[in-house]
Amino acid sequence: MTFNTTLDSIKTYEAGKPIELVVREFGIPENEIVKLASNENPLGASPKAIEAIIQNACNAHLYPDDSMFALKKALSQFYKVQSNEIIIGSGSDQIIEFCIHAKANQKSKILMAKTTFAMYEVYAKAVGAEVIRTASHQHNLKEFLESYQQHKPEIIFLCIPNNPLGECLDSKETFDFLKQVDENCLIVIDGAYQEYAKAKDSTKAINPKTLIEIFPNAIYLGTFSKAYGLGGMRIGYGIAQQEIIQALLKLRPPFNLTTLSLAAALEALKDQEHIQKSLQNNLMQMPSFEGFAKEKGFLYTPSYTNFITYYFESPLDSTQIADYLLQRGMIIRNLASYGLNAIRITLGTHEQNKKFFTLFEQYLDER
């Protein structure tokens, strides 16, 4: 059977390994496995969100409100924008796909950092667009501007802060860059980890309302999968001026969220106390990871997210390290697929992090 030739250049996205896989392959009891691979909130979802899921389970046979009125209204009040300036997706990556299909084709160019969220490239190549990457792994706006001026892309992706590396552009330098971009170029600001960045440094905060008021060609993406602890519910959103939202809505399939997802997201948004606990845990745990890297002589990216990236030099090998940890029930993310000798570790609870350090020490001692 033949398939669309655009698939030839696409690599299958590698998600973080699930706990179930480790149970099957290594026979480790599920309660002994620690997953620090997919940047999930170690404190879990808000108890109020979980209760909403339970209460709405009896309505699982009913289609959800396809207008998503209640969640849009809550988000509009939270961000002080209009409900018709919001689109809801099955994860923010679905809205990334909408953006590319709405704007790009086989003649298009799409600009992004050398190392950033892999699905930008997957969706770009799926429509036959040319992917332009900067020379630096991290976001360098001088390189972005040079590439923009040379290639005139239809879409620019800025991941603020950046996954999988963790660095974060300042909002001022970001806005200064956007002022130099033509209004017909769609700017996608991926704010999946913005809650963590804002908690650490207010100069990193991107205000969606301010963004779309100044730049009619920009869309801000947010998610309930990270700080809100609802990765399993798959809820993302985009905020932009009506012209962009109306174009994207033409691509949205009906009922693209579940009744349970909508209920959970609504309650999670209300429970900002739980979010603050989650952010505080992250801020408390980060210094131990930075200190461990300094003690062992590893390079790392100062992170504005809920994860940290360690870089290694030979003879240390990220694949060997990841495999060693995996076989002992510790799941982290190997970044070899990005061409990096590096691993990304989600910050967990104090006990989970302690187990990571113990196993890593054990690996180094056994070498």
Whether 160 and 197 have beta carbons less than 8 Å apart is answered as yes
Task: Report the sign of the C-alpha dihedral through residues 51, 57, 59, 62, in that order.
Answer: positive
pTM summary value: 0.95
CATH topology of domain 47-270: Aspartate Aminotransferase; domain 2 (3.40.640)
Across the range 325-350, mean pLDDT stands at 96
Q: At what angle do helices 47-56 and 259-270 cross, to 10 degrees?
A: 150
End-to-end alpha carbon distance in the chain: 47
Phi/psi at 344 (5° precision): -115, 130
Whether 138 and 338 have beta carbons less than 8 Å apart is answered as no
Q: Which of 75, 78, 103, 72 is nearest to 217 (CA)?
A: 103
Peptide bond into 47 cis (omega under 30): no
Mind listing the pLDDT tens digit for each residue in 155-186?
999 999 999 999 999 999 999 999 999 999 99
Same fold, 16-39+273-366 and 47-270: no
Phi/psi at 342 (5° precision): -155, 160
CATH topology of domain 16-39+273-366: Aspartate Aminotransferase, domain 1 (3.90.1150)
Mind listing the pLDDT tens digit for each residue in 45-100?
999 999 999 999 999 999 999 999 999 999 999 999 999 999 999 999 999 999 99
Mind listing the pLDDT tens digit for each residue in 238-273?
999 999 999 999 999 999 999 999 999 999 999 999
Q: Tell me the pLDDT band of 29, cut-offs 50, 70 and 90.
A: confident
What residues does each domain of the chain span? 16-39+273-366, 47-270
